[in-house]
Chains A and B, each alone.
Chain A
Amino acid sequence: MANLTKTNRRDFLKIAATASGGLFIGFYWSGCDSPKMKVLTNEEILLNAHNFNSYLSISPTGDVVIYSPNPELGQNILTSFPMVVAEELDADWQKVRVIQANLDVEKYERQLTGGSGAMPHSWERLRKAGATARHLLVAAAATKMNVNASTLSTSNGEVIHKESGKKMGYGELVTDASKLTAPEEVTLKDPKDFKIIGTPVKNVENKNMFTGKPLYGLDFYREGMLHAMIQRPPFGMKIKSVDDAAARAISGVTEVVTFKNNVAVVGKSTWPLMKAKKLLKIEYEPDGVVESTFDHDRLFAELLNGKTAEVKRKDGDVDAAFKNAAQVITSEYQCPFLSHSPMEPQNFFAHVQGDKVELVGPTQTPDRARNDTAQLLGIPPENITVQITRLGGGFGRRLRADFVVEAAELSKMMNAPIKLTWSREDDMTGGAYRPAVRYRFQAALDESGNMIGYKLRGVGINAGNSTRENNFPSGAVENVLIESVEHKSAITTNAWRAPITNFLAYAEQSFLDEVALAAKKDPVQFRLDLLAKAKASPVGELQYDVDRMIGVIKMAAEKSNWGKDANVMQGFSVYFSHRSYVAQVANIEMENNQPVLKKIVACTDCGIVVNPTGANHQVRGGIVDGMGHAMYGNLTFENGLPKQKNFDTYRLIRMKEVPEIDVHYVQNGIDPTGLGEPALPPTGGAVANAIFKATGRRLRSQPFIEQKEFSDIKLQIKRA
């Protein structure tokens, strides 16, 4: 937005909305290389641009505008999607502008951010979008040059006739090309010819982010809008009485309104609302079962030993295997609730006018935002527009649309445009957490240390299926029983980055470390032996690709010098999630008799790496996320209310608490399989297994710092 200097401060984001419905994203450092050259605004470019498809417009100046449909929350999709289009177009990346598309269910499928699925889903679509336009530009050039299209090639925004040395820029061809009929099938590039994919293209929003431009939902202001904040009830409670006199007395508060067990304070700016909300006197009474963390600990014990469980998988004869076992290993692992806590708290703008609604804000699921609002108001979804702002993090919390619906409901009640802001405390106490889960693992070993039986029962609080029954080690063991028990609670839960596996992987990989020790086998070899079995004679259904898993294990062993240095205590972990494979090794060295975590080595198979900078961000970020929450994260409840309400008591990992992270990728040319989540699950296991190796203390619950086994361990973290 370097060229949009004269923005009206009361309407920051709207000024950037285009006729074709999107936000402009320019990424030129203003006046960078040639300050005297006139840089066209996006409006100027689009005025004469020809639209080729949902993703792509090209102007006669040769400027290329690429629309990126999926919400950007830090996974770098706003840069990597356009890279794929530009690659097949053979565009000059310096002439590419990127626009975040608004919700458009006609133009785009799966316009959401979740499940590490955007790139796997869109990879071929994006390539075809670029390749189709390239094909038409070449056809137009063939006519103009009066040569056969097969004699032409493209590079850097130009069509080239090698024989004559003639070149034509895409801008010169675009008017003719856009009149041609697009072919049904186009040839895509051989990946070895990629020039943009696989290179560290910088984030297209760098300049805007680093100069403080309005990008995020909270940065959206509209002339005449009202601000709103909501006090929500503790889980399992309902409002008995409300005394809002003190809140109303705050200067700047225009209205206090009670709806659906919520009390909203409305006014002209944010601060008076924050003050007023604290002055609300609300009495609550139970509305069903009101739970505390203490109750959950008791529930876990009961349900793990209970008679009823949903059988998710059963192979062979588990009872016989355990009866005949030379050795049985049993362990339980538990994790607490976690808050998503994106740095930008939940917020949304809504303007309901009759049966039309305008929605603007940070959502991972714009379609759900639209549909839930339509349902609330009883209007057709087509009457609602959704403008997607940049998201200040998501981690799964913004898959829900509760905050969107709240904003829409308030806008209707107030008959005014509303910006709803959740305070940090609202964000942490307002629900939809990573569910708390307890697992019991059991392994049966024969006399040679082979795992002949494997049992897992997971008990989760609003976790749904707390297992991943067709994931490793299923398929590698003859006799398997996997069960899940669900406890329904008033405490709301939701997908949290790498749902279920964010904790299951740690528990399973720690348990397998225990089993390998009991079997007197090296932890890496133990896993490889199981996979050899899964490859040679797989048992039942396997969700994972055995060779890809073996590949990352072997690579991690090699890159980490596994077992080669007696002074380095190593912990191993490997996990398959969201189509990709990540193996990790944590290295601990003892200094003054205390463990020092020096490094985590991560080897990833996510297929083709579209943008190495973005990929490294996702791997390192996932590891920091996994380690931070394993070490410190804990959300506990008292009478339906979280005890931790802000970052003073809910501890997030900080810079000095992260080790060096060494990142490697398997180069196998497979189409991209997703990377927003897969690096997170293995981390807790790698760290816990290294801590065990170094100290003999097995950490079976998170967060580590609150476990008695960890109480006298001073884990230091040192970076090179």
Chain B
Amino acid sequence: MANYNLRINGNDYNVEVEDDTPLLWVLRDHIGLVGTKYSCGIAQCGACTVHVNGEAAFSCTLPVSSIGSDEITTIEGLSSEGDHPVQKAWDEVDTAQCGYCQAGQIMTAAAFLRKNPKPTMEEIENAMNRNLCRCGTYHKIREAVALAAKLK
């Protein structure tokens, strides 16, 4: 067990966990931020995607000991009112079916659009291909990312 000070969504958290605990489980079990989802646990599906210093990262394989002073953003902290352009686009396009993967999809899209504000469809697909959606909402996700780029 070790003590970690984490900077998440602009707030400071102190947790006592084992060094190898993935950020995902620190968020869910210890801090109560459950918007970040567990699905595969081996960095294959993207449901657990968060931002580390603004970059999309799989939190399920990110040990808490590697975080240090990095700034973590989760779906809960993407915007204060749920009005980030990507969230607005996701609503406008009515993107979800079961919705379980969508927080991860949104976090991937938000990090991608920050770096590439005017992407082509092909660039969108390359960026979003890392996130699985078992319901098959891929058409809507493409559309929503493209719309989010326009909403900015």
Query: Could you list which residues of chain A lie within 8 angstroms of chain B, going by C-beta atoms?
Result: 9-10, 12, 29-31, 72-76, 200, 202-203, 205-207, 209-216, 218-219, 221, 227, 251-252, 269-272, 274-275, 341-345, 390-395, 421, 423-424, 613, 617, 620-625, 628, 646-648, 652-656, 658, 660-661, 719
Contacts and interface: CB of A to CB of B under 8 A. Distances in A.
A30 B91 CA distance: 13
A625 B132 CA distance: 12
A656 B125 contact: yes
A211 B32 CA distance: 14
Give the interface SS of chain A, mostly helix, strand, loop or mixed. loop
Given A271-B22, A344-B100, A613-B94, A213 B136 contact: no
Interface of B: 1, 17-18, 20-22, 25, 28-42, 44-45, 47, 74-76, 78-79, 81-83, 87, 90-91, 94, 96-103, 106, 121, 125-126, 128-129, 131-142
Q: Which 9 A-B pairs have the closest CB atoms?
A: A212-B35, A9-B32, A624-B136, A392-B100, A74-B98, A74-B97, A212-B75, A209-B99, A621-B136
Contacts of B32: 9-10, 12, 221
B87 to A, nearest CB: 5
A30 B81 contact: yes
Contact of B138 (A219, A423, A658): A658
Contacts of B133: 343, 655
Contacts of B103: 209-210, 212
6 contacts: A76-B97, A214-B35, A391-B98, A652-B132, A655-B128, A656-B129
B136 to A, nearest CB: 3
A408 to B, nearest CB: 22
A660 B125 CA distance: 13
A211 B35 contact: yes
A361 B133 CA distance: 21
A211 B75 contact: yes
A117 to B, nearest CB: 18
A74 B91 CA distance: 15
Given A212-B74, A652-B134, A207 B91 contact: yes
Given A29-B82, A218-B28, A621-B97, 5 more contacts: A206-B90, A343-B132, A623-B136, A655-B125, A658-B136
A215 B99 contact: yes
Contacts, number: 195
A647 B141 contact: no
B29 A206 contact: no
Contacts of B131: 655
B81 A271 contact: no
A31 B35 CA distance: 21
A433 to B, nearest CB: 15
Interface of B is mostly: loop
A654 B134 CA distance: 9
A516 to B, nearest CB: 29
B38 A269 contact: no
A269 B37 contact: no
Given A218-B37, A647-B44, A210 B138 contact: no
Contacts of B83: 29
Contacts of A209: 96, 99, 102-103
B18 A210 contact: no
B138 A655 contact: yes
A576 B100 CA distance: 30
A30 B52 CA distance: 27
Given A210-B90, A271-B22, A343-B39, A620 B136 contact: yes
B94 A343 contact: no
Nearest to B64: A271
Nearest to B107: A212
Nearest to B90: A210
A398 to B, nearest CB: 11
B25 A219 contact: no
B35 A200 contact: no
B35 A344 contact: no
Contacts of A215: 99
Contacts of A648: 42, 44
Contact of A393 (B17, B98, B125): B98
Contact of B41 (A218, A424, A628): A424
A344 B131 CA distance: 14
Most chain B CB within 10 A, of A210, A269, A343, is at: A210
Contacts of A10: 32
Nearest to A658: B138
A652 to B, nearest CB: 6
Nearest to A647: B44
Contact of A202 (B17, B20, B94, B137): B94
Nearest to A394: B98
Contact of A206 (B17, B76, B96): B96
A36 B92 CA distance: 23
Contacts of A621: 97, 135-137
Contacts of A206: 90-91, 94, 96
Contact of A214 (B34, B44, B141): B34
Centre residue among A209, A221, A274, A628 by max chain B CB count within 10 A: A209
Contacts of A211: 35, 75-76, 78-79, 82, 87
B18 A345 contact: no
A252 B79 CA distance: 34
B91 A647 contact: no
B17 to A, nearest CB: 8
Nearest to A423: B41
B105 to A, nearest CB: 10
A393 B134 contact: yes
Nearest to B102: A209
A462 to B, nearest CB: 23
B13 to A, nearest CB: 11
Contacts of B22: 271
A598 to B, nearest CB: 14
Contacts of B106: 210
A215 to B, nearest CB: 7
A646 B40 contact: yes
Given A206-B90, A214-B34, A271 B18 contact: yes
Contact of A658 (B35, B101, B139): B139
B134 A341 contact: yes
A208 B90 CA distance: 12
A274 B38 CA distance: 12
A271 B138 CA distance: 31
B106 to A, nearest CB: 6
Given A624-B138, A658-B139, A212 B18 contact: no
Contacts of B101: 343
Contacts of A661: 139
Given A76-B97, A211-B75, A392-B98, A647 B132 contact: yes
A654 B132 contact: yes
A628 B75 contact: no
